[in-house]
Amino acid sequence: MTRNPAPDDLAQRIRAGDRRALAKGITLVESGRADDRVAAIALLTALGTDRQALRIGLSGTPGVGKSTFIESFGLMLTGQGKRVAVLAVDPSSARSGGSILGDKTRMDYLARDPLAFIRPSPSQTQLGGVARRTREAVALCEAAGFDIVLIETVGVGQSETMVAQMADLFVLLLAPAGGDELQGVKRGIMEMADLILVNKADGDLKSQAMRTCADYAGALRLLRKRPQDPEDFPKAMTVSALEQHGLAAAWDDMQHLANWRRDTGIWDEVRLAQVSYWFTEDVRQGLVQLLESDPALQDAMTTAKAQVLSGKLAPSVAAAQVLAALKGLAP
């Protein structure tokens, strides 16, 4: 980005619902350039934090029908007059070469819906930067007045943890498993799910989808109740994105869960814990960057880490040497 518009002006246009301004704002928060970062902070400051969307994290491995689900689910919501933004978190896209939402045409109708906004994930980002970029993009969509922000991710583990830290609800989309076939659910992702949706409950796969759903419902019952769950949650249910059934029931459940959490105060608690977490994380990452930008300290860290990896120094000892160097003491 060579020329940035004035942050106050851009903020005003984003809040007024200007989609091109929103896209421009997201490009700004995604940028790795130092001057863009200054402008991004000014933009976020000008946007404020008074508007809230329902943030839904959506995870599912390739092949479960995620694009079809987002298209059907999104169109159902826009059909009710809701404004829907879709963002993608895909730390692997730089490697695999293909972003989840890279091919917007897979969501052809939703992409052309004036009530929807779809943002493909950028092709090149470091994992550390993905969290901040996505979180700030969510904040921009909220400021732009969207009712629902869908944050989509690929089911590889680390990105789910990140998305769960910025979502109000977490939905896991699965495909029916055949017979003894293993389901590719990464351990730990089930931990985060508020709702498990077994997709493709249509045609020949319908009975398989119901068996898979029952299996997961059983697995969920084996896990401990969380304080953020009302009765019967987390739950597993079948949907068909293709035939568009089960989507209204899933949306009812999401709203029920969101309302219950709002009524009990858990919603606010979680949001406060999330902003507190990200504030501390940002400060910590900034500190580490400060350290890494100092060549002498960087040298100390590289030397110390090499000694840790060669087995010559215990991690505590090596860390103590680096910190001593930082304080200007002899290591």
Residues that bind its own copies (CB under 8 A): 37, 40-41, 44-45, 47, 49-50, 132, 135-136, 139, 182-188, 190-192, 215-216, 218-219, 221-226, 272, 275-276, 278-279, 281-284, 286-288, 290-291, 301, 304-305, 308-309, 311-320, 322-323, 326-327
37, 133 contact by CB (below 8 A): no
* CB of 265 vs its own copies, minimal distance in Å: 15
Q: Which two tokens stand for residue 224?
A: 């401990």
Distance CA 310, CA 295 (A): 22
| Nearest approach, Cβ of residue 325 and its own copies (Å) | 11
Are 84 and 78 in contact by the 8 Å Cβ rule? The answer is yes
d(CA 127, CA 68): 27
Nearest to 30 by CA among 137, 105, 103: 137
Least Cβ distance, residue 22 to its own copies (angstroms): 16
In the bound state with its own copies, the residue whose beta carbon lies nearer, of 248 and 275, is 275
Shortest distance, CB of residue 305 to its own copies, whole angstroms?
6
> Residue holding tokens 């606010």?
268
Burial string for 169-192 (b: 16+ CB within 10 Å, else e) reads: bbbbbbbbbeeeeeeebeeebbeb
Q: Closest approach of Cβ 111 to its own copies, in Å?
A: 28
* Torsion angle, alpha carbons of 130, 146, 165, 137, to 10: 20
Q: How far is the CB of 270 from its own copies (least distance, A)?
A: 13
Q: CB–CB of 268/258 below 8 Å?
A: no
Q: How far is residue 196's CA from residue 190's CA, in Å, rounded to a whole number?
A: 8
219 vs 242 by CB, closer to its own copies = 219
Residues 6+ apart with CB under 8 A from 242: 65, 68, 72, 200, 202
Q: How far is the CB of 179 from its own copies (least distance, A)?
A: 12
Q: CA 240: distance to chain centroid?
A: 23
CB-nearer residue toward its own copies: 132 or 261 = 132
Pick the closer one to its own copies by CB: 158 or 244: 158
Closest separation between CB of residue 82 and its own copies, Å?
24
Transcribe 71-134 into DSSP letters.
Answer: HHHHHHHHHTT--EEEEEE-TTHHHHS--TTS-GGGGHHHHT-TTEEEEPPPS---HHHHHHHH
Among residues 185 and 247, whose Cβ is nearest to its own copies? Answer: 185
Nearer to its own copies, 117 or 216 (CB): 216
Looking at this protein, which amino acid is placed at residue 271? R
Is the Cβ of residue 107 or residue 189 nearer to its own copies in the bound state? 189
Identify which of residues 223 and 248 has a Cβ nearer to its own copies in the complex.
223
